[in-house]
Amino acid sequence: MAEITRRHRMVGTAVAAVAIGALITGCSGGSEPSTPGSDAPVLSGDIVWADYGGPTNETRQLAYFDGFFEETGVEVVSTSIEDAIYMSMLTGEPGDYDVFQASSAEVLPNTDNLYELPQSVRGDLLPENVRPYYLGGFVFGEAQGWLTETFPDGGPEDWVDFFDTEAFPGKRAWPGAPGSFDASYEIALLADGVAPEDLYPLDIERAEAKLDTIRDDLLFYQSYPEVQQLLTSGSVSIAVTVTGQFTALQNAGEDVTVQWNQAFAVPSGLVVPKDVRNPDEIDALAAWINDPENQAVFTERTGYGPVNSAVFDFLPDDVAASLVNSPEHADQVLYWDNEWRGDNYELLLNSYTAWLAG
């Protein structure tokens, strides 16, 4: 970690600064690098950034925002994302955010309302259909994990085991916010014997019937950071969540086991409304975040997979091997059908909302 941080300070800033300069020149219509006295736009003001907070946002501050402010004078102001605001912004309504987090399933039906980033700052490890829109992209895992001491003889090996509360007793931390249905239906169907290649179209009724079989064993959380407290307090024995929460616990010294078998690798990130008020600053921030050395700091600290393939050149081997989109997990992890999920987002949201309400 120290080696990457040193390189980040000495080299990453310079690399990203060059990229930012090139973007500014492009915005001004020129073909030569900007120089003092040129008519290139001067970066200023702030960028309102909305995400889910917690350790991931804290790491963004360290890996991205602090250095960006030092380099450009533009402050990235973080705020907790509100479902009602960002959902309306996805459909083209005005809102409070310049940048906000959204899943691929939410992005794909609404691309006409989103800002397209310059080609030079797009993550090459993202699917092509979301690549133009994701600023600050990352690949997260959706998996089950537990404190290793909870199951000293070995924990669940797949989603069938997760539903076996006799062999693996204890409450399960499970997403309880309507908009965070995540892989709930896919997990339930896999546990009910559906083959991965046959998951889509999702059989909602069958999935909910399977979920009902362990409903009394589920402890619903409203935000991802809650999972850490639920595990360390012993309130649950297993948690299903984004893998960055497990990484945060590991970084805090906890011995956590993540089950990569049948985990989901999910591309995600943040998007920008089409009529954003500060496009020059947005492009500059996108360049800064896509710089592989800056992104390596974020990747190592969060455990989320990178979207720029060059990041792997700046990661220790053990860190690279622990990432959900590491080649080492290629035969274990699964991927959502984001096209289907995007086309059926309202069905998933409404169904899960109704199921949570009982």
CATH number at residue 192: 3.40.190.10
Instruction: State the pLDDT at residue 338.
Output: 85
Question: What is the span of the domain harbouring residue 154?
Answer: 140-266+328-357
Region 111-134 average pLDDT = 96
- What percent of the chain stands above pLDDT 70? 89
pLDDT at residue 16 greater than cutoff 60: no
Q: How would residue 327 be classed by pLDDT, with cut points 50, 70 and 90?
A: confident
Instruction: State the pLDDT at residue 21.
Output: 52
Residues 39 and 92 in one domain: yes
Q: What is the side-by-side order of every strand in the sheet holding 99-103?
A: 75-80, 46-51, 99-103, 256-271, 135-147, 238-242, 172-175, 218-221
Residues 205 and 332 in one domain: yes
Mean pLDDT of the chain: 89
Residues 199 and 86 in one domain: no
Long-range contacts of 329-332 (CB under 8 A, 24+ apart): 329/260, 329/263, 329/265, 332/260, 332/261, 332/262, 332/263
Region 5-14 average pLDDT = 37
Residues 48 and 191 in one domain: no
Residues 47 and 193 in one domain: no
Q: How would residue 328 be classed by pLDDT, with cut points 50, 70 and 90?
A: confident
| Most confident by average pLDDT, 19-33, 154-168, 246-260, 339-353 | 154-168
Residues 207 and 245 in one domain: yes
Instruction: State the pLDDT at residue 243.
Output: 87
Q: How would residue 118 be classed by pLDDT, with cut points 50, 70 and 90?
A: very high
Q: How far is CA 311 from CA 10, 141, 198, in A?
A: 16, 18, 33
Instruction: State the pLDDT at residue 55.
Output: 83
pTM, 2 dp: 0.73
pLDDT at residue 266 greater than cutoff 50: yes
Q: What is the tally of structural domains in the chain?
A: 2
Residues 258 and 291 in one domain: no
163 contacts 210 by C-beta, under 8 angstroms: yes
